[in-house]
Structure 1
Amino acid sequence: VELAKKLADLLPGNLNRSLFAPGGTSVIGIALKLARLVTGKHKVISLWDSFHGASLDAIAVGGETVFKHEMGPMMPGVTLIPPATTYRGVFGSTDKDQVKYADYLEYVIEKEGNIGAFLAETIRNKDVQIPSKAYWQRVREICTKHQVLLILDEIPIALGRTGKMFAFENFGIEPDILCLGKGLGGGIIPFAAMVTRDSYNIATEVSLGHYTHEKNPLGSVAALATITYIGKEQLLQKVIDDGQWLRIKLQQLKEQYPLIGDIRGIGLLWGIELVTDTETKEKANKEAEKIMYDCMRLGLSFKVSQGNVLQLSPALTISRADLEKAVKILSMVLDKHS
């Protein structure tokens, strides 16, 4: 109860109702169920290349084909549309082009009919795709107009990763349903939450969750401790400062190494996209893998997404000295492979 009250205090408007679960995949399922109850409509629109979990309902609304391989028929009523991207966008890559992706969302809503929810990652975590503010505000306008619930998956990026407590705060919007996880348990305790509006508290006769450990007191304590620590240590401002520093350092690397086609990020979430040719944007998949393993040998660990994007998401508590060391290692390895 104390954690639910704390989340309500932190979130805007009437996002006051929380339901807890053992993990992020579970709250995605809960959100999809609630959307059906609230709207009376079962269809969902989500984005290609998105990730929302690995259960059958979560991979149905996810956009990564690798998770659907050999799984047979997926949950019906799901339509995938292109995500707003700034480097390889099918509708263009400029900030102005981003609104076209939102307009296509409205086109699909009107053509498909019976859409109950639009599910998306506020910022795509795995390869760091950051839509524009104009895109998100247009999406919010469209969802309100067509009575489609906006479900934001912030499982890996909320609680300070972007320099805001919640990533949607960077775009001046408000979701109808918010999914939280990962960092909510302090990175140690498996714990997640779905938060929604007071007016959507209607599932009195439906088991949205019913998981064994959905009201885990240990998870609640971990979440409260995490939120308290973020405030006490002023981590949000630290993340903003670190992000500004990283932007400068990574831009310098981009100017130095032609292997880097694009850098993009916010706070302590960054993507470095490697290409063999900056004109054709051919992915440097082999080079990315070699760079990852060479960095690991020198003590720097990160993951490679989409085959060629180095995804950097250090702990929010990382020191500036360790950030400097990480950039130095990355520079040394890039120099070796350039």
Structure 2
Amino acid sequence: MNKQEYMNCAEEELLHTYNRFPVVLERGEGVYLYDTDGKKYLDFAAGIAVSAFGYGKKEYNDALKAQIDKVIHTSNLYYNTPVIEAAKKALAASGMDRIFFTNSGTEAIEGAMKAAKKYAYTRDGHAGHEIIAMNHAFHGRSLGALSITGTRHYQEPFEPLIPGVRFAEYNDLDSVKKQITEKTCAIFLETVQGEGGIYPAEKEFIEGIRKICDEHDILMVTDEIQCGMGRTGKMFAWQHYDVKPDIMTCAKAFGCGVPVGAFLMTEKAAEKSLVPGDHGTTYGGNPLVGAAVSTVFDLMEKENILEHVQEVAPYLEHALDALVEKYEFVSARRGLGLMQGLVLNVPVGKAAAKALEEGLIIITAGSDVLRFVPPLIIEKSHVDEMAEKLDKVFAQIEA
């Protein structure tokens, strides 16, 4: 089939829950993707912050192939060595004490919500507790995750959602304090808001939330699904702030392409929350994803990814700042590390579509932000190539 036939087939057979770009991607190599026509694209989206090592990484591929030849799945009724090794590495990198492996970031959020509610149930001897979440947050599309996703248009068609969720303003500590009641069991926040428009947490805000949680014996839960795993120059974004959450969620680059996520917690949170019978998963933490996660942590260390991000990120910031200066309709840049956004006063979908025509893959965030979440292995030469392509796109928009 040719490209159009593939797209027609997809539109006939797949449930239409995505408005896809008109391209059929076939293979990848390094930081480039190729479609079925052989056209080459510089990838600054990484599968929505997933493919930290780009494409065709031999060590990663070999590890998965070797595990497939051993065993892919056994269920959680038995131990398996790859996920135990992965757990040890994830806990060492995060400083947390316990981990539960899920199949996705949304499932990690669901588990974190249950853990927080069970913690308060154990503490107080009764149910009926509340969660504080942030306006413009995005935590996933299941009913539980939607309940703490602070964007109304995502929620409205699926109401009623889980009750007992109060919303505060991100980076506004006073608004959080106003939502605290005797029923509060947890405060959920993205350390860097992603879908909401690429907003890093302010230091005073995240420190203040930690203090509030300590004073009231409630749990601080950080969503690191998009901003974690080295993207900001630290393994997890909360490590920039010298605070530590009670629970954190992780996915996306955690497995670099296989369906895996996790929620991690301190011993304090673990010992008062989930016990046998409270939570489970058939596929979560199977040997295949365990091998992937374990290899990801090995490669992060072997290739000094955190140091590399710290070196390349300022160069990316400078390139994006230059575009802000050059074009009036580009009003601001914000972000942390290799998670950056440009605020546009023109339709961002149009800009992303034109970039695709120029052989550049970028995605959007919120209603007015172009999002840059490239593979963590990009070099300065790739930043230059991106900036050149985007300059052409912006010149066309301005004309």
2:308 match: 238
In the aligned structure 2, how far is the partner of 1:249 from the partner of 1:150? Answer: 35
Does the Cα contact within 8 Å between 2:315 and 2:380 map onto a contact in 1? no
1:87 match: none
Choose the corresponding residue for 1:69, options 135, 156, 159.
156
In the aligned structure 2, how far is the partner of 1:181 from the partner of 1:292? Answer: 25
Measured against aligned partners, the alpha-carbon deviations of 1:139-183 in whole angstroms (never above 9, x if no partner) come to 111111111200001011111100100100111110000101111
Measured against aligned partners, the alpha-carbon deviations of 1:169-204 in whole angstroms (never above 9, x if no partner) come to 111110000101111112x11011111011233356
Q: Percent identity?
A: 27
In the aligned structure 1, how far is the partner of 2:202 from the partner of 2:309? Answer: 20
In structure 2, relative to structure 1, the CA distance for the partners of 1:193 and 1:205 (3 Å cut) is closer
In structure 2, relative to structure 1, the CA distance for the partners of 1:289 and 1:27 (3 Å cut) is closer
Does the Cα contact within 8 Å between 1:30 and 1:208 map onto a contact in 2? no
Does the Cα contact within 8 Å between 1:4 and 1:16 map onto a contact in 2? no
Measured against aligned partners, the alpha-carbon deviations of 1:194-246 in whole angstroms (never above 9, x if no partner) come to 11011233356453431111221111110110111111111111111111101
Instruction: Classify the secondary structure of the residue corresponding to 1:307.
Output: coil
Does the Cα contact within 8 Å between 1:133 and 1:172 map onto a contact in 2? no
1:292 match: 352
2:203 match: 133
Instruction: Classify the secondary structure of the residue corresponding to 2:97.
Output: strand
State the 1:319 CA deviation: 2.8
Please say which structure displays the higher CA radius of gyration.
2
The alignment status of 1:108 with 2:179, answered yes or no, reads yes
Choose the corresponding residue for 1:78, options 157, 160, 165.
165
The alignment status of 1:333 with 2:399, answered yes or no, reads no
Choose the corresponding residue for 2:333, options 255, 263, 267.
263
The alignment status of 1:9 with 2:92, answered yes or no, reads yes
2:41 match: none
Does the Cα contact within 8 Å between 1:303 and 1:311 map onto a contact in 2? yes
The alignment status of 1:55 with 2:152, answered yes or no, reads no
In the aligned structure 1, how far is the partner of 2:190 from the partner of 2:338? Answer: 17
2:117 match: 36
Instruction: Classify the secondary structure of the residue corresponding to 2:117.
Output: helix
TM-score with structure 1 length normalisation?
A: 0.87
State the 1:290 CA deviation: 2.1
In the aligned structure 2, how far is the partner of 1:293 from the partner of 1:36? Answer: 43
Choose the corresponding residue for 1:183, options 253, 273, 279.
253
Instruction: Classify the secondary structure of the residue corresponding to 1:314.
Output: coil
Q: Which amino acid aligns with 2:134?
A: L
Figure out how many residues of one structure are paired with residues of the other and give that number: 307
Q: Which amino acid aligns with 1:103?
A: D
In the aligned structure 2, how far is the partner of 1:129 from the partner of 1:265? Answer: 6
Q: Which amino acid aligns with 1:6?
A: K
State the 1:274 CA deviation: 1.0
State the 1:310 CA deviation: 0.3
In the aligned structure 2, how far is the partner of 1:154 from the partner of 1:315? Answer: 17
Does the Cα contact within 8 Å between 2:194 and 2:365 map onto a contact in 1? no
Does the Cα contact within 8 Å between 1:21 and 1:209 map onto a contact in 2? no
1:46 match: 133
TM-score with structure 2 length normalisation?
A: 0.74
2:101 match: 20
Contiguous gaps of at least 5 residues in structure 2: 1-83, 122-126
1:280 match: none
State the 1:51 CA deviation: 0.9
